[in-house]
């Protein structure tokens, strides 16, 4: 692949499973050596042909991790596809790591809310200038504008951006993570929170990521030449201790003998592959606004809305009309299930993050109404998460075994 090959309409987002599958098909020829050699280059928002731009689709499981890995291994040898396959597993590693240390998400939420309420005038002005791309650091300012306008940033740019936010601008890392969550179409509680913590030096104690001007210049093909970065910063420190990995939280399994309804959230937009029989009803639950106490971008809200509508169309073709629960109160969930004559609500496993938090607030109303929230965990997560106990290396070593266990190779 030529490194400046444009990917037409790469950021013209259509939130549908068909679009996700089309993107997998279009990028499959490049999931081998092309990706390995070119993936670290941020060539600009109009030149995204060196990366798949699949993350908004995989994040909502409009397409699955397994579908992406199968495509890579069907077209390339394991050695050629190694880097691409590893990057797919990285996302699952982050999710499993956070699921096994749920206090890290709760600590982020507390820190974010405390930072928002504790901003003095000077810091508030600095945060606003950073979010609006008015810092005077040209690369950072362009990335801020690109994020707001497109809902996307190259992964390497995310690392540089976070480093500059934390170490050069000296802004609270939680507010940078919140800025990403409000605007990234692929904003994921695990990848985003843990990525920011890793840059800050909090995920792996004492190991941080300080952006270097030469590195930015090299991997943007000289688009930027920042000379005013804090390249010698020390990692952040914190009193909070996430502790050792815990078992994944216990959840109630679906009982096919009890009347049930299907709940679809933006955490999993492929319920027809969960192996469930016909339900007494189905509903989509959009919780985009729960990403942050601040307004979430219209791009994120629109993508979630369209993804859930696309999912509802597929489910309706199988099971009939699907209700849309928009801007719901926790009690609305119980009322909907009761009207359908159900005593359990079934949904794909909901990991740590704002959707999980909202469902937890709805639990008392469900309990009062005699309704159980049951979850179905995907085989992919059940296979990978047990190895997400420390660094990625443990998962990386298991990838050949996981490929075989999950029947990912042709």
- Is 372 found in the same domain as 269? yes
- Residues 350-374 have pLDDT tens digits of 999 999 999 999 999 999 999 999 9
- pLDDT over 70 for what percent of the chain? 97
How many domains does the chain contain in total?
Answer: 3
SS3 233: coil
Q: Which domain holds residue 93?
A: 17-98+384-405
**Residue 309: closest CA among 327, 289, 290, 325:** 325
> CB-based contacts of 272: which residues, under 8 Å, 6+ apart?
314, 315, 318
pLDDT(11) > 90:
no
Of the segments 7-11, 109-113, 239-243, which one has the largest average pLDDT value? 109-113
Structure tokens at 403: 């490929």
Is the predicted pLDDT of residue 2 greater than 80, yes or no?
no
The enclosing domain of 62 has a CATH number of 1.25.40
Within this chain, do residues 181 and 198 fall inside the same structural domain, yes or no? yes
Q: Please, are residues 250 and 335 in contact by the beta-carbon 8 Å criterion?
A: no
pLDDT value, residue 9: 56
Report the CATH number at residue 371: 3.40.50.620
What rounded mean pLDDT belongs to the chain?
A: 95
pLDDT top residue among 276 and 292: 292
- Same domain (yes/no): 122, 154: yes
pLDDT value at 8 more than 60: no
Q: With respect to residue 6, please indicate whether it lies within any of the assigned structural domains.
A: no
> Could you say which DSSP state residue 247 is in?
P
pLDDT value for 4? 37
81 shares a domain with 151: no
CB-based contact 203:197 (threshold 8 Å): yes
Domain identity same for 94 and 111: no
Question: Is residue 187 in a domain?
Answer: yes
111 and 197, same structural domain?
A: yes
The beta strands (E) that lie in 97-256 are given as none
Which pLDDT score, from 0 to 100, does residue 277 have?
85
Backbone angles phi, psi at 374, to 5 degrees: -105, 150
pLDDT (0 to 100) of residue 7? 43
The number of residues in the chain equals: 410
Burial code of 85-99, b = ≥16 C-beta within 10 A, e = fewer?
bebbbbbbbbbbbbb
Structural contact between residues 173 and 235, judged by C-beta atoms closer than 8 angstroms: no
Strands (DSSP E) contained in 249-291 are 260-265, 282-286
Instruction: List pLDDT tens digits, range 76-115.
Output: 999 999 999 999 999 999 999 999 999 999 999 999 999 9
Same domain for 266 and 317: yes
Q: What is the mean pLDDT of residues 327-351?
A: 93
Count CB neighbours of 14 within 10 A.
15
Cβ neighbours, 10 Å, residue 67: 19
153 in the same domain as 90: no
Q: Does residue 22 form part of some domain?
A: yes
Q: What is the pLDDT of residue 10?
A: 60
| DSSP-assigned states of every residue in 324-340 | EEES--HHHHHHHHHHT
For the cut 70, the answer to whether the pLDDT of residue 6 exceeds it is no
* Inside any domain, residue 121: yes
| Predicted local distance difference test score (pLDDT) of residue 5 | 38
pLDDT in tens, 151-178: 999 999 999 999 999 999 999 999 999 9
pLDDT of residue 174: 98
pLDDT in tens, 184-233: 999 999 999 999 999 999 999 889 999 999 999 999 999 999 999 999 99
Say what the pLDDT of residue 195 is.
Answer: 97
Tell me which residue of 219, 203, 129, 114 sits closest to 170, measured CA to CA: 129
Q: What is the pTM of this model?
A: 0.95
Q: What is the CATH number of the domain that holds 178?
A: 1.10.579.10
**Do 296 and 334 meet the contact criterion of CB atoms below 8 Å apart?**
no
pLDDT tens-place string over residues 16-46: 999 999 999 999 999 999 999 999 999 999 9
DSSP state of 264: E
pLDDT of residue 1: 40
């Amino acid at each position: 692949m030529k490194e400046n090959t444009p990917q037409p309409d790469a950021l013209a987002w259509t939130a549908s499973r068909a679009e996700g599958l089309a993107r997998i098909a279009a990028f499959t020829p490049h999931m081998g050596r092309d990706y390995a050699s070119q993936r670290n280059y941020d060539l600009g928002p109009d030149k995204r042909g060196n990366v798949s731009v699949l993350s908004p689709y995989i994040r909502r499981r409009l397409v699955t991790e397994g579908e992406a890995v199968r495509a890579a291994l069907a077209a390339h040898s394991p050695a050629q596809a190694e880097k691409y396959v590893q990057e797919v597993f990285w996302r699952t590693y982050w999710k499993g790591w956070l699921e096994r240390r749920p206090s890290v998400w709760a600590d982020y939420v507390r820190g974010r809310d405390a930072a928002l309420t504790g901003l003095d005038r000077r810091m508030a002005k600095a945060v606003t200038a950073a979010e609006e791309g008015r810092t005077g650091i040209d690369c950072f300012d362009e990335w801020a504008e690109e994020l707001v306008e497109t809902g996307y940033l190259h992964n390497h740019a995310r690392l540089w951006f976070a480093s500059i936010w934390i170490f050069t601008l000296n802004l609270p890392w939680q507010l940078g993570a919140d800025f990403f969550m409000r605007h990234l179409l692929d904003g994921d509680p695990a990848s985003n929170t843990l990525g920011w913590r890793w840059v800050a030096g909090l995920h792996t104690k004492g190991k941080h990521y300080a952006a270097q001007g030469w590195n930015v210049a090299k991997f943007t093909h000289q688009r930027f030449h920042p000379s005013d970065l804090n390249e010698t910063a020390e990692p952040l420190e914190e009193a909070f201790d996430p502790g050792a990995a815990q078992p994944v939280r216990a959840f109630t399994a679906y009982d096919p003998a009890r009347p049930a309804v299907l709940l679809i959230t933006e955490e999993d937009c492929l319920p027809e592959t969960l192996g469930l029989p016909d339900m007494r009803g189905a509903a989509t639950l959009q919780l985009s606004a729960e990403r942050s106490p601040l307004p979430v971008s219209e791009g994120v809200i629109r993508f979630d809305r369209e993804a859930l509508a696309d999912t509802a169309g597929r489910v309706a073709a199988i099971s009939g009309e699907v209700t849309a629960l928009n801007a719901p109160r926790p009690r609305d969930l119980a009322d909907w299930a009761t009207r359908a004559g159900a005593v359990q609500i079934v949904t794909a496993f909901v990991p740590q993050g704002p959707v999980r938090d909202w469902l937890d607030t709805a639990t008392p109303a469900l309990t009062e109404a005699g309704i159980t929230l049951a979850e179905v965990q995907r085989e992919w997560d059940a296979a990978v998460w047990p190895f997400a106990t420390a660094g990625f290396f443990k998962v990386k070593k298991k990838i050949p075994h996981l490929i075989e266990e999950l029947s990912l190779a042709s």
